[in-house]
A and B are shown apart, each in its own frame.
Chain A
């Protein structure tokens, strides 16, 4: 049982890292960014390519995250920015195309077989008489640290404040004459970096496969819906809550654990009538 709880916390941590960028894009611009999934998947494969050369987990992580930044900038600048304020479905189709293309690119370069990455530390800790890998504990700590760092960012910096205001009332921010899009591309890149970090530190636990981007976009979407749109603290709690749901279902029915997330999401959609789900 304790093992499952710890597993749930680990997944929750990953879900939080991966979905925060998605949640911001969805909350401010009402844009479903499927390309978030391609950033996630590409970063894991880049990491796998870099790792044998540097032989150091952290260094490889930093290099692949740095490599992913220009790509996420290009996606934001040339695909998402022209579609701000446009009908929702064009952005969806365009980023869906990006995800589709990158998935095929991954299949082309690295093949379709799932790839395994070895865990950097094999140390296990004794928590309540249960063996718990240190690596998972690190993941949880990273997520909590990111949560507090983001909170600080959103409270103390101008960019953060503008984004928080835009999450609440995008039109109001525009009326004040603030060019929110400029700040927005910064936050887009931060979100992409977090997705890349989340993807990479999760990759030793699961195997990497070309279609994982699709799955994680959906999970990120579920986290955003359950947490409440534009509610960044809510996203934190809902990520850990859904992580628990996955872990608890996995005890009984491992194959369908991720499906339960969508059941929870459907229930939340039914119960809570948000003013406008567009």
Chain B
């Protein structure tokens, strides 16, 4: 039944992607929403939101689509921040080159670590990733302190692209917005492609896919590398955005933000990831002013979500809309 549902979904998605005007409309809607929001919340804050949105999208690919929970995703985010900063400091101050260097570094690390960790699945996968994340954190925060600035972190210097200063705000906002739209578009393409259908099938029944003769290891590894590279991308943008980096960006404890954003929006759904990411940031920015024990509330919410509210906001909305139009099963 699952496989049948999946095949239907794949068929549906394929027709969706063939009508390319639709994805164009979606991209325009997202852009308009974020630009409108920027008038209320301010461009710097919306930039933060969008960078976090890219990170959540990357997490959604690995957790929502492939069904592999990991608690070590911040390792690749952090690799992105540190590689981009070091590249801009030591090689070339051009931020575009820095972004590319950060993405490549994240992808390379993911290819090395990934070939080891994708052999596992389920809880082991989650915790082995967390262990690697701790190793990375220790290395950056203590062992390589001469290069990375240790626990204090370091300032990052961003140069200009020719005569253009990318860091200046109206331009920087639109640059990050286009980065978000690009990531969204890429994920949409990937998840609708045959490759993406395969990845979703792995989520539902990995053993069966193995039986059918597909190389599951390859699909898992490639997905892992893509998701990690995307996370590194978000990391490089963070570097340029704040102009300062600290080992905090590599801390496995921050991974819970990604899990939370993903679950509250609805895992396995790109819109859910975007919605969850934005919602989480709004909550973090505004609720934490009023609620002193913000992490306590977050922890309890995580428990409630995983027990009672698993489909997330998008699933919740879908169910209600379906019920109202009478097409719900």
Interface residues in A221-235 by Cβ distance below 8 A to B read 221-222, 225
Asked whether A93 lies within 8 Å of B259 as measured between CB atoms, the reply is yes
Q: Which residues of B contact A263 (CB under 8 A)?
A: 135
Most A CB atoms within 10 A — which of B259, B293, B296?
B296
Render A120-144 as a binary contact track against B, CB cut-off 8 A, 1 for contact. Answer: 0000000000000000000000000
Are the CB atoms of B126 and A97 closer together than 8 Å?
Answer: no
Partner of B127, one of A32, A97, A258, A270: A32
Interface centre among A31, A94, A97 (most CB of B within 10 A): A97
Q: Are B124 and A225 in contact (CB under 8 A)?
A: yes
Are A92 and B126 in contact, with the CB atoms below 8 A? yes
Assuming the contacts A93-B302, A265-B131, asked whether A277 and B122 have C-beta atoms less than 8 A apart, the reply is yes
Please tell me which one of the listed residues B67, B293, B299 contacts residue A97 in the complex, with CB atoms under 8 A apart. B299
A26 contacts the other chain (CB 8 A): yes
- A-B CB contacts (within 8 Å), total count: 127
- Report the contact-size class of chain A (Cβ under 8 Å from the partner): 35 or more
| B287 CB-CB contact with A under 8 Å | no
> CB-CB contacts of B122-146 with A at 8 A, as 1s and 0s?
1111111011101100110011000
Q: Is A278 an interface residue (CB 8 A)?
A: yes
Task: Output the least CB separation between A269 and chain B (Å).
Answer: 7
A105 and B301 alpha carbons, distance in the complex (Å): 14
> Cβ of B119 and Cβ of A218 under 8 Å apart?
no
- Distance of B306 from chain A, by nearest CB (Å): 4
Among A104, A259, A269, contact of B293 (Cβ-Cβ < 8 Å): A104
In the complex, A222→B121 CA distance in Å?
A: 16
Query: Which listed segment binds B: A52-60, A61-69, A83-91, A179-187?
Result: A83-91
Contacts of B121 in A (CB 8 A): 277-278
Residue A255 interfacial (CB < 8 Å): yes
| Contact of B310 with A by CB under 8 A | yes
> Can you name the residue of chain B whose Cβ is closest to the Cβ of A254?
B142
Which chain A residue lies CB-closest to B206? A278
Specify which chain B residues have a CB less than 8 angstroms from the CB of A30 in the assembled complex: 122-123
**Is A237's beta carbon under 8 Å from chain B?**
no
State in angstroms the CA–CA spacing of A277 and B128 once bound together. Answer: 11
Chain A contacts for B263, CB-based, 8 A: 93
Q: What is the CB-to-nearest-CB distance from A141 to chain B, in angstroms, rounded to a whole number? A: 30
Task: Tell whether, in the assembled complex, residue B300 and residue A101 are in contact, meaning their CB atoms are under 8 Å apart.
Answer: yes
Known: A93-B263, A108-B296, A218-B131. A101 touches B123 (CB 8 A): no
Q: How far is the CA of A276 from the CA of B296 in the complex (A)?
A: 35
A contact residues around B293 at 8 Å (CB): 104-105, 108
Report the nearest A residue to B142, measured CB to CB: A255
A211 is an interface residue with CB less than 8 A from chain B: yes
CA distance A107 to B294 in the complex (A): 12
- Give the chain A neighbours of B119 by CB distance below 8 A: 269, 273, 277
Question: Chain A residue with minimal CB distance to B126?
Answer: A92
B282 sits at the interface (CB 8 A): no
**Is A79 part of the contact surface with B, judged by Cβ < 8 Å?**
yes
Question: CB < 8 Å: which of B143, B298, B305, B307 contacts A100?
Answer: B298
Q: Knowing A93-B302, A214-B253, say if A104 contacts B296 (CB, 8 Å).
A: yes
Q: Which 10 interchain pairs have the tightest Cβ spacing?
A: A101-B299, A97-B302, A278-B122, A100-B299, A89-B69, A104-B295, A262-B131, A277-B124, A97-B303, A104-B296
A sample of 21 inter-chain contacts (CB < 8 A) reads A79-B307, A89-B63, A89-B123, A92-B126, A93-B306, A96-B256, A97-B299, A97-B302, A101-B295, A101-B298, A101-B303, A108-B293, A211-B253, A214-B253, A255-B142, A256-B143, A263-B135, A265-B128, A266-B116, A270-B116, A273-B119
List 5 extra interface pairs beyond A89-B123, A93-B306, A277-B125, CB under 8 A. A83-B306, A90-B306, A218-B134, A258-B138, A269-B120
